[in-house]
Amino acid sequence: MKIALVQINPVIGDFAKNCAKILQWAGKAEARGCSLVVFPELVVTGYPPQDLLERPSFLAAHDAAVARLLPQLPAGIDVMFGCLERRDGEHGKPLYNCLAVAREGKIVYRARKQLLPSYDVFDETRYFEPGSTADMYEVGGLSFGITVCEDMWSEEVKLYEVDPVADLFHQARTRGVIVSGIINISASPFQRDKEKIRKGIFSRICGNYKVPFLYCNQVGGQDSLLFDGRSMVMDGAGAVVAQARGFGEDMIVVDTDTWKGDLNEEVEVAEQAAVYRGLVMGVTDYVQKCGFSSVVLGLSGGIDSALTAAIAARALGPENVLGVALPSPYSSPDSLEDARQLAANLGCRFEVIPIAELFDTFRRNLAGLFAGRGEDLTEQNLQARIRGNLLMALSNKFGHLLLTTGNKSEMAVGYCTLYGDMSGGLAVISDVPKQLVYELAAYVNREREIIPARTISKAPTAELKPDQRDQDDLPPYEVLDRILELHLEQGQGIEEIVAQGFAEPMVRDILRRIRVNEYKRKQAPMGLKVTTKAFGYGRRYPNVQNFQG
């Protein structure tokens, strides 16, 4: 028997488009002789629908879409897909996160997600009631245990008292059923090293229970979340025998007689390549799903804006990227030259708008009020805000989405200007630490020089005052990034970080900056998540607090 795993890129709430894709790919799977085609978690709605699930009209539209879909599905193949299921009862949540199987126009099988994550970016207990162990799903003489996304993660996450996989095998033994394999449908977001963790979990399950494992994951960008797809099949020994590509729609087919299948991409992908492809996909989907077709961004001649421009040009085509240099009195000729060269290398349009006259106008108009006070950070921020206004004007006039170019290291410590370089509609690299920025720049230049060599080699600087360097105010980025990782991603406090050899005054200063700039990050544009803990709706810290541990 042949089974197809199909990863599609849904649009949340676009039921017609999502169902059309299910129909299209189900037809392709049938044409390849498959008896079963599997689609990801909540593929009908798109994931995560968030508070749309609280709107009766959304639920009614979902139910109507499924009712229209069922009679149109090919009759000669089972279609497994993620959808909503209404729940009866006066108490508890009104919905299940459901896996359904359609056969000859009818739902013949359901399984309900048991483990509902409510950490980081997940909030499923807000909407769903947990399910219980489902019966085996039988097709072509085989019996499959069925799980939905988080149901596989009980050993890794360690927040649950229930182990759905163990319960599934216990039930099978009790009933005298031989489990032929496990199928898992997911909407599992990408982050650095996530696939290594997934494969570790899946291979342990295969090793423990000696059965194949079939994993079908959503693909595409949804707000800040990046879904990488990378659907796969492992045999009973935990070896990958079928592999879908990452960050794009795809279908793989596996033959259960041999447990061999399509290998559409390398089984192992380098981290830099995965992060870069994820960011490209995230820009493409956010821009296009929001109804834009082009972007504008400031090009400073620095590495952050250069990397952002390279990602945008790859995502949208260079003809849809406008790069703008906005030199101030403190900008070096080298920076302007590097920005111009970058645009030429990318093939995107490039414009120059000097801001010296506007800066002088602001200073003259404020001179009376500022009398007796020397220039300080205020004047630096004025330059950033002038640039932000000019870029927003271009965005408004021409319908471009404005991309911001700040990295995670800067965002963490507030080394950015509210209503200045933070102005925009999407923060492309706001979850990319500075050291990873350099690694991605090297990846962009792996075949030819796109980002100018001088942009990569020169010392980072905001160029908002004479002879300014980032390291005048910040520790070296290799030190800063490690402290940020320990604190933001691993949750360590001052004592734990200092115990690893970092100077206590420096650690205290960095953590203070993180704390006092929370308000600033709350007003930043949405960013694309690539680490285990990004700034955004997965981070829930109060603006007003004074815990200094």
441, 372: one domain: yes
CA–CA separation, 235 and 242 (whole Å): 9
pLDDT > 90? residue 461:
no
pLDDT (0 to 100) of residue 472 = 78
262, 327: one domain: no
pLDDT > 90? residue 221:
yes
Listed residues 470, 504, 532: the one ending a domain = 470
177, 300: one domain: no
Is 41 a known active-site residue? Answer: yes
For β-strands 213-217 and 232-234, DSSP reports them as: antiparallel
180, 321: one domain: no
pLDDT (0 to 100) of residue 90 = 85
Catalytic residue among 2, 21, 85, 113: 113
Total structural domains in the chain? Answer: 2
Residue 61 lies in a domain: yes
188, 337: one domain: no
Q: What is the mean pLDDT of the chain?
A: 96
Is 113 a known active-site residue? Answer: yes
Q: Would you state the structure tokens that stand for residue 189, as one six-digit string?
A: 């977001």
pLDDT > 90? residue 480:
yes
pLDDT > 90? residue 200:
yes
In this structure, what CATH number is given to the domain that contains residue 256? 3.60.110.10
pLDDT (0 to 100) of residue 118 = 95
Confidence of residue 314 (pLDDT cuts 50, 70, 90): very high
Residue 534 lies in a domain: no
Catalytic residue among 83, 98, 149, 348: 149
128, 243: one domain: yes
239, 327: one domain: no
223, 283: one domain: no
Q: Would you state the structure tokens that stand for residue 162, as one six-digit string?
A: 């229930």
Which among 8, 7, 78 is positioned nearest to 37, based on CA atoms?
Answer: 78
Residue 66 lies in a domain: yes
pLDDT (0 to 100) of residue 466 = 84
Q: How many CB atoms lie within 10 A of CB 2?
A: 18
Confidence of residue 481 (pLDDT cuts 50, 70, 90): very high
Listed residues 437, 452, 470: the one ending a domain = 470
**What is the separation of C-alpha 322 from the centre of its chain, rounded to a whole number of angstroms?**
24
204, 304: one domain: no
Domain housing 333:
275-470
pLDDT (0 to 100) of residue 299 = 98
Listed residues 416, 447, 470: the one ending a domain = 470
Please write down the HEC assignment for all residues of 121-189. Answer: CCCHHHCECCCCCCCCEEECCEEEEEEEHHHHCHHHHCCCCCCHHHHHHHHHHHHCCCCCEEEEEECCE
Residue 485 lies in a domain: no
pLDDT > 90? residue 32:
yes
501, with CB counted inside 10 A (0-12, 13-18, 19+), is exposed
pLDDT > 90? residue 137:
yes
Confidence of residue 151 (pLDDT cuts 50, 70, 90): very high
Report, as an integer, the average pLDDT of 78-102: 96
Which among 77, 131, 64, 132 is positioned nearest to 108, based on CA atoms?
Answer: 77
Contact between residue 266 and residue 230 where contact means Cβ atoms under 8 Å apart:
no
Percentage of residues in the chain with pLDDT exceeding 70?
Answer: 100
Residue 490 lies in a domain: no
Report, as an integer, the average pLDDT of 327-348: 96
Catalytic residue among 41, 129, 150, 410: 41
pLDDT (0 to 100) of residue 376 = 93
pLDDT (0 to 100) of residue 89 = 85
pTM of the model: 0.96
184, 244: one domain: yes
Is 34 a known active-site residue? Answer: no
Residue 530 lies in a domain: no
144, 291: one domain: no
pLDDT > 90? residue 467:
no
Residue 533 lies in a domain: no
pLDDT > 90? residue 537:
no
Q: What is the pLDDT of residues 254-277, one digit of tens each?
A: 999 999 999 999 999 999 999 999
56, 197: one domain: yes
For β-strands 250-255 and 2-7, DSSP reports them as: antiparallel
> CA dihedral defined by 344, 345, 350, 356, rounded to 10 degrees?
-90
Residue 508 lies in a domain: no
In this structure, what CATH number is given to the domain that contains residue 431? 3.40.50.620
